Amino acid sequence: MICAIDIGNTNITFGLFSEGKIELTFRLFSDIGRTSDEYAILFISMLKNYSLEPSKIHGFCISSVVPPIQEVFEELIPKYFPHSNWVIVGPGIKTGIPIVYNSPQDVGADRIANAVGAWEKYGRKQKNRIPIVVVDFGTAITFDCISDKGEYVGGAIFPGIHIAVESLFRKTAKLPSIEVKDPKTVIGKSTIQSIQAGIVHGYASMIDGMIEKIEKEFGKKVFTISTGGYAELISLHTKRIDKIEKNLTLEGLYFIYLKNIKEKN
């Protein structure tokens, strides 16, 4: 099995692949205070909880936007999985797509994984290619744009939904902390419903507006994919999301692993 690991600011997401198919996903809270031994115990315990033997994992691919936790996993893998191959997304790694960015090394590893996953699944095999836009609902909401030639050409970054909700709660005296869920209506009938309506419909409208502007810059229609924790909830209220792929980042990491291990072999 191959394990894809996406280390984010809020969660670490794990995906186990067998024969090209994702068999299992789970998450751990991102905690920079944990040691490699502590993460290893948690990771191995989760595997055994799903009746998976750690010895069956023979490869890892990691994307990270949290350098201290990345360093912990760089220590963990050779210590607990000494016979495995491993790849960390960064400079010099084969991705299969050119990075057309002012400073390619500044592009987040998760954004590269999203672009690779989108291109491999929806771009490369198409005869009549159109640009692809990936909208990722993480701690930040990112827009990643892939040209019809398969080039990563940039995107946009917004504050994520949790950041917006926490900011309202912390920076206002009377607004409560809320659970983000479908408000059913745009016009809220209570303070909680009003915040939910603002978050869900506001972000949905922002996405539709951004996609429209991105299409104007490309000069053509784009194919849009959403991924991440709130992808399903927000995408239900947009007009411009064509496909929801909750595990797109992990799938992109799997494709990157295959490209790099083939190069080694």
CA-CA distance, 195 to 178, in Å (whole number)? 8
Q: How many alpha carbons fall within 13 Å on the CB side of residue 60?
A: 25
List residues with catalytic annotation.
110
Buried b / exposed e over 51-70, threshold 16 CB at 10 Å, is: ebeeeebebbbbbbbbeebb
Q: Computed from CA positions of residues 30, 31, 34, 36, in that sequence, does the dihedral angle turn out positive or negative?
A: positive
